[in-house]
């Protein structure tokens, strides 16, 4: 037998044929007339045939296969014993007769009570507990009885209530009323003595102060009741002092009438008798329900659980058409369980059908493909641009986010790496440092970098100023040295061949190094920009003459248009 949630059977009893139904009705008629013996339940007791069937039959959610019985209608003796109707309740307060003079073994270390431990103590933690001082031993609480309550006992809201506590509240309010009367009489007496109020000369008001006091006491209750009505004197309310009731109208002046929201006669229909407008008066204006103050009385029918309720009702109608006896109002629990099982089976069937189609025909890769606008990098969003590239009309393109963390500042730097550039080097703008993992030096680092740059600029200027004018003797000696050098060059022409060989060897080494550098540069350029190392395209030292010559030689392009002229 199929079962749903909480072990409730979802299968219905089999339908009876027309012949079985006729025989059952005849047997019931015979039992009512006394011609046939009465039906016997499972305990052997007779069932009165005049008892209706909905009383003698067992509910479907208990057991649909059980015989008719009245056991579920009788009082259960064991359940009656559970509910404690004797008025017993948990004892409150402490035991007044038990007062200990010294700390006892196993008692609370904080207050000294024997009925709880230190972690359950509700008193303020003492600086020195009762275990060590032996003073101010607290009284023991009552030992609570073990009360067992049944279904009604757990839900009895007045169980354990003491009516004497309410009398304390009544006495408190009566004392407050007497104090108010006394203050009002005293205030009236002071006003009469000061002359602010004139005594009325009539036989009704000639009884002295006692009569005035009694009059104030009589009017006290009515004045107190009337003062609360001053705050509710507002549009839409009428107060009647004789009846002490408030008559509230259905609409106040601040409310906007529904029929004034759209004066078009072809718009939403307004019923003046019930003051209802079921359709949306702003339906043709293109405004959303959130912008308008009224979206029609039927708007709530399409929100919340109203849609799921309507779906359940449709399912019940369809189930009745197919022969299943279910009803939304009569058996809501059964209908809900059937609807849940139906939805679960429907989802499983759809999933199996989809899997079988994919296994037979294939095409899973088309279901996992991204949207068409991402595949073709095109969208239907209309955008207009100006001459300068700014967006005039339309939605601006979203900025592509990097997979790396942005604006990450390390080592006390206030700017990111790469915010400063000078002479082909990247660095930090906050301290003008070109070392990536260096600590920030702030303004001092900037000053040091600026002073170094100024010193490097001043050095050649100072060297020029340091040159002194030469004397005639020094000029003559320089001319003699130049003549000697010319003679030495003539004699050293024979040695120039050896120097030329050395230069050729250096040039070959420089060419090999340049080829290796270009090969390494090509490998780096093939890598992704995000995987390239820092400072990979320049060096910090000054190149030699051989390296410059090798660079120029490798820089030439034999396929270029000027290659023929350079060869000549």
Q: What is the mean pLDDT of residues 495-524?
A: 80
291 or 269, greater pLDDT: 269
Those residues with Cβ within 8 angstroms of residue 500's Cβ, 6 or more apart along the chain or in another chain: none
Q: Identify the bridge partners of residue 421 per DSSP, sorted by sequence position.
A: 426
Banded model confidence at residue 244, pLDDT cuts 50, 70, 90: very low
Q: What is the mean pLDDT of residues 161-179?
A: 91
Asked if 440 contacts 413 with a C-beta cutoff of 8 angstroms, the reply is: yes
DSSP string, 98-123: ---SS--TTS-TTT--SSS-GGG--S
Those residues with Cβ within 8 angstroms of residue 334's Cβ, 6 or more apart along the chain or in another chain: 10, 60, 61, 326
The phi and psi torsions of 62 (rounded to 5 degrees) equal -90, -60
558 or 233, greater pLDDT: 558
Banded model confidence at residue 178, pLDDT cuts 50, 70, 90: very high
pLDDT for 8 equals: 46
Q: What is the mean pLDDT of residues 85-111?
A: 82
- Give residue for tokens 């939605």: 395
Q: What is the mean pLDDT of residues 536-553?
A: 74
Share above pLDDT 90 across residues of the chain, in percent, rounded to a whole number: 18
Task: Dig out the tokens for 560 from the structure.
Answer: 């270029």
Burial 301-314 (b: 16+ CB within 10 A, else e): eeeeeeeeeeebee
Q: What is the DSSP letter of 341?
A: H
Banded model confidence at residue 333, pLDDT cuts 50, 70, 90: very high
Tell whether the model's pLDDT for residue 90 goes beyond 90: no
Tell whether the model's pLDDT for residue 567 goes beyond 70: no
Angle between helices 496-526 and 545-555 (to 10 degrees): 60
Rounded CA-CA distance 91/160 in Å is 9
pLDDT for 306 equals: 84
Asked if 47 contacts 41 with a C-beta cutoff of 8 angstroms, the reply is: yes
Rounded CA-CA distance 49/56 in Å is 9
User: To 10 degrees, the CA torsion angle through 281, 283, 287, 290?
Assistant: 70
Given 3-state DSSP classes, what are the helix, strand and coil percentages for the chain, each rounded to the nearest 5? 45, 5, 50
pLDDT for 137 equals: 92
Q: Is 97 helix (H, G, I), strand (E, B) or coil?
A: coil
172 or 324, greater pLDDT: 172
Structure confidence by residue, pLDDT tens digits, 52-85:
888 888 777 776 666 778 877 777 665 544 545 5
Rounded CA-CA distance 179/172 in Å is 11
Q: What is the mean pLDDT of residues 142-165?
A: 83
pLDDT for 84 equals: 53
Rounded CA-CA distance 466/461 in Å is 9
Banded model confidence at residue 539, pLDDT cuts 50, 70, 90: low
Rounded CA-CA distance 40/28 in Å is 13
Asked if 477 contacts 449 with a C-beta cutoff of 8 angstroms, the reply is: no
Pairing relationship of beta strands 39-40 and 245-248 according to DSSP bridges = unpaired
Q: How many C-beta atoms surround the C-beta of residue 226 within 10 A? A: 13
Task: Dig out the tokens for 202 from the structure.
Answer: 């009539």
pLDDT for 324 equals: 86
Q: What is the mean pLDDT of residues 508-533?
A: 81
Q: Which three-class secondary structure string do you get for 334-362?
A: HHHHHHHHHHHHHHHHHHHHHHHHHHHHC
562 or 95, greater pLDDT: 95
pLDDT for 373 equals: 66
DSSP string, 137-188: PPPPBP--------HHHHT-TTTT--THHHHHHHHHHHHHHHHHHHHHHHHH
Those residues with Cβ within 8 angstroms of residue 428's Cβ, 6 or more apart along the chain or in another chain: 413, 415, 416, 417, 419, 420, 438, 440
pLDDT for 318 equals: 93
210 or 382, greater pLDDT: 382
Rounded CA-CA distance 44/125 in Å is 67
Tell whether the model's pLDDT for residue 262 goes beyond 60: yes
pLDDT for 204 equals: 46
Banded model confidence at residue 463, pLDDT cuts 50, 70, 90: low
pLDDT for 109 equals: 93
Q: Model pTM?
A: 0.25
Cα–Cα distances in angstroms (integers) from residue 558 to residues 52, 369, 522, 534, 547, in the given order: 114, 49, 19, 32, 20
pLDDT for 237 equals: 47
Most confident option among 88-102, 119-133, 150-164, 394-408: 119-133
Average pLDDT, the chain: 77
């Amino acid at each position: 037998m199929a079962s749903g949630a909480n072990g409730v059977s979802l299968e219905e009893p089999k339908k009876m044929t027309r012949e079985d139904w006729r025989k059952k009705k005849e047997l019931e008629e015979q039992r009512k007339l006394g011609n046939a013996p009465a039906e016997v339940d499972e305990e052997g007791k007779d069932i009165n045939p005049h008892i209706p069937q909905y009383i003698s039959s067992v509910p479907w959610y208990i057991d649909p296969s059980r015989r008719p019985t009245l056991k579920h209608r009788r009082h259960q003796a064991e359940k009656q014993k559970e509910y404690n109707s004797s008025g017993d309740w948990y004892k409150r307060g402490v035991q007044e007769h038990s007062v200990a003079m010294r700390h006892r073994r196993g008692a609370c270390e904080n207050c000294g009570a024997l009925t709880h431990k230190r972690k359950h103590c509700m008193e303020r933690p003492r600086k020195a507990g009762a275990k060590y001082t032996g003073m101010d031993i607290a009284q023991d609480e009552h030992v609570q009885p073990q009360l067992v309550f049944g279904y009604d006992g757990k839900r009895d809201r007045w169980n354990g209530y003491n009516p004497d506590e309410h009398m304390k509240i009544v006495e408190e309010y009566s004392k407050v009323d007497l104090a108010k009367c006394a203050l009002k009489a005293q205030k009236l007496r002071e006003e009469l003595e000061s002359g602010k109020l004139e005594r009325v000369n009539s036989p009704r008001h000639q009884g002295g102060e006692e009569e005035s006091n009694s009059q104030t006491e009589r009017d006290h209750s009515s004045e107190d009741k009337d003062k609360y009505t001053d705050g509710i004197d507002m549009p839409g309310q009428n107060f009647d002092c004789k009846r002490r009731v408030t008559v509230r109208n259905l609409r106040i002046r601040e409310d906007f009438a529904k029929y004034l929201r759209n004066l078009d006669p072809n718009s939403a229909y307004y019923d003046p008798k019930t003051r209802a407008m079921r359709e949306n008066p702003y339906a043709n204006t293109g405004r959303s329900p959130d912008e308008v103050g009224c979206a029609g009385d039927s708007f709530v029918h399409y929100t919340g659980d109203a849609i799921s309720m309507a779906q359940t009702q449709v399912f019940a109608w369809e189930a009745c058409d197919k022969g299943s006896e279910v009803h939304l109002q009569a058996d809501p629990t059964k209908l809900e369980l059937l609807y849940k099982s139906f939805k679960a089976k429907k989802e499983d069937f759809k999933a199996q059908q989809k899997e079988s189609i994919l296994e037979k025909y294939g095409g899973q890769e088309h279901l996992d493909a991204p949207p068409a606008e991402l595949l073709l990098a095109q969208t239907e969003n209309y955008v207009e641009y100006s001459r300068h590239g700014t967006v005039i009309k339309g939605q601006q393109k979203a900025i592509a986010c990097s997979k790396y963390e942005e604006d990450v500042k390390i080592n006390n730097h206030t700017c990111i790496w790469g915010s400063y550039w000078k002479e082909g080097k990247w660095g930090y703008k906050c301290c003008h440092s070109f070392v990536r993992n260096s600590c920030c030096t702030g303004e001092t680092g900037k000053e040091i970098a600026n002073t170094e740059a100024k010193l490097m600029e001043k050095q050649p200027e100072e060297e020029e100023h340091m040159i002194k004018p030469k004397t005639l003797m020094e000029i003559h000696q320089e001319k003699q040295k130049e003549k000697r050098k010319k003679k030495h060059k003539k004699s050293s022409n024979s040695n120039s061949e050896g120097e030329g060989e050395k230069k050729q060897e250096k040039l070959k080494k420089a060419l090999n190094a340049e080829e290796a550098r270009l090969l390494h540069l090509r490998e780096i350029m093939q890598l992704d920009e995000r995987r390239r190392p820092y400072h990979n395209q320049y060096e910090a030292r000054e190149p030699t003459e051989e390296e410059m010559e090798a660079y120029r030689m490798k820089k030439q392009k034999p396929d270029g248009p000027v290659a023929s002229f350079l060869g000549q």
